[in-house]
Amino acid sequence: MVTIQHLNLTLINGYLEVLDIGVLQQMLDLYVQQSQLYLTGIDEAITQTDQKLWQEHCHKMKGSAASAGLLQVYDKLVAIEKSAEEWSVKEKHANALRLVNQQAIDAFKEWLSGQ
């Protein structure tokens, strides 16, 4: 099951104890919107070769991913946020982040549909 590896089920099940499933869906929808903004900002940082902008958008997305219980997205951001690697490497990190982010969103949707 892909869900287990992507999601912090302890956190999400804790949310479910106090929040309606509809609120969790809204939380995911908000995360999807915000993560797209962060990914756009990360792309902008790469284009401008701006380390401060890179760290800022990675940091914000990391917090959002943690709040949404998206473990692998959070872990990837922890690994790359303060990266001092070449911009071509950072671009590869951004592409990998985009992929793991979509997988995590899909896993969350799958989990929601099973509730």
Sign of the CA dihedral 48, 50, 54, 60?
negative
Structural domain tally of the chain? Answer: 1
Mind listing the pLDDT tens digit of every residue in the chain (115 residues)? Answer: 456 789 999 999 999 999 999 999 999 999 999 999 999 999 999 999 999 999 999 999 999 999 999 999 999 999 999 999 999 999 999 999 999 999 999 999 999 998 8
Q: Which residue carries 């692998």 as its tokens? A: 72
- What residues have CB less than 8 Å from 2, skipping those under 6 apart? 103, 106, 107, 110
Please give the pLDDT value at position 2: 52
Q: Could you tell me the residue range of the domain that residue 60 belongs to?
A: 2-113
Tell me how far apart the alpha carbons of residues 61 and 72 are, in angstroms, rounded to a whole number.
12
Check which CATH number belongs to the domain holding 32 and give it: 1.20.120.160
pTM summary value: 0.93
Please give the pLDDT value at position 5: 86
